[in-house]
Amino acid sequence: MVIPVKPDVIIVGAGVSGLTTGVCLAEAGLSVHVLSHQALPERTSYAAGASWGPYMLEGDARGLEWSRQTREILQQLAAEGCGVRIVAGIDAAEAADAEPPAWAVAMPGFRRCEPHELRGRFRSGWHYEVPLVDMPTYLTYLQDRLLAAGATLSERTVDSFAQLSDLGRVIVNCAGIGARELVPDATMQGVLGQLVVVKNPDPPVVRFFQDDAEHGDLTYILPHGDLVVLGGCAVAEGSALDHDAVAEEIKSRCAEIEPQLATAQIVEVRTGTRPKRPQIRLERTDVDGRVIVHNYGHGGSGLTVSWGCALEAAALVRAALDGPGRPD
């Protein structure tokens, strides 16, 4: 590993959180080096769906604000051909009296579904527009943007912050599930997810569909031009998972909503481990005279809060570098 002469910031982790935080810092003029223990296709964020939506953040004021900031930036990026698109679709629920969350009501194009617009087991729902993100394309865009801003990136496994104590002035922890051992943080849990990528059939799917289930059998259909991402599942880390059987079950469930998906060709099956925590950890700590800014534990909301969290983490880094007792 070659690291430039003591950069301002060392970022541990190069998923959507690490890359976005790196972009914010590098484009602000700081010298940044990002460490990843995996190449891009193996990173957890690569396997995300991914649609914007603060589904698990209701009642979390900081989470909702981070989500709002992220949505505004994703809407701007949608014009840049970087894997972000604004797509209309439906959020549905099995309960006939389900109420949409307040944030959904405020979304562009919001209206409640008519009965004839719902299929299968779903009895209520609402339309709106959200950013959908093709994660392989988007992560490549973020990484290219990071490097174009002058940052550097290398692959390395980090077992302790002590290994980095003399390498950068401030450490930013975006290690995701790796924070469980790195911090260590016993509150971190891994949630194994799987999705299926299929060729968009004819007639093509052009609108997204998502359910509001809180159990593991999530159902979502996210169109990305020639491909459609189908999901999903969420099971405890370490569970036995028959990937082929789960893929067929996901595809069958989605075909109840969009029948043409029944014969759609499977292109790829992606799996990843979501880094779940009771609350997102975004704060500064000082350990043995070294400043560490933590930005991890986003669970399934990593994309949704990515820019909001990155901007706040970057502000904490700048305050540490500029404030009294700033690190050498």
Q: Which residues are annotated as a binding site?
A: 44-45, 158, 220, 274, 299-304
Among residues 181, 176, 85, the alpha carbon closest in space to that of 137 is found at 85
Structure token pair of residue 45: 């964020």
Q: What is the sign, positive or negative, of the torsion defined by CA atoms of 204, 139, 79, 307?
A: positive
Q: What is the sign, positive or negative, of the torsion defined by CA atoms of 55, 130, 22, 159?
A: positive
Phi, psi (degrees; rounded to nearest 5) at 147: -70, -35
How distant, in Å, are the alpha carbons of 151, 263, 300, 304 from that of 55? 33, 30, 9, 9
Phi, psi (degrees; rounded to nearest 5) at 219: -125, 120
Cβ atoms of 313 and 172 closer than 8 Å:
yes
HSE-up of residue 86 (Cα within 13 Å, Cβ side): 15
Alpha helices in 127-242 (DSSP H): 135-148, 179-182
- How do beta strands 189-199 and 266-276 pair? antiparallel
Can you say which residues are annotated as belonging to the binding site for D-dopa? Answer: 220, 274, 300
Among residues 48, 84, 86, 51, the alpha carbon closest in space to that of 67 is found at 51
Can you say which residues are annotated as belonging to the binding site for FAD? Answer: 44-45, 158, 299-304
Within its chain, how far is the Cα of 174 from the centroid?
12
Q: Is 305 helix (H, G, I), strand (E, B) or coil?
A: helix
How distant, in Å, are the alpha carbons of 177, 179, 235 from that of 184? 11, 6, 23
Spatial distance between the Cα atoms of 183 and 164, rounded to a whole number of angstroms:
13
Among residues 246, 251, 216, the alpha carbon closest in space to that of 234 is found at 216
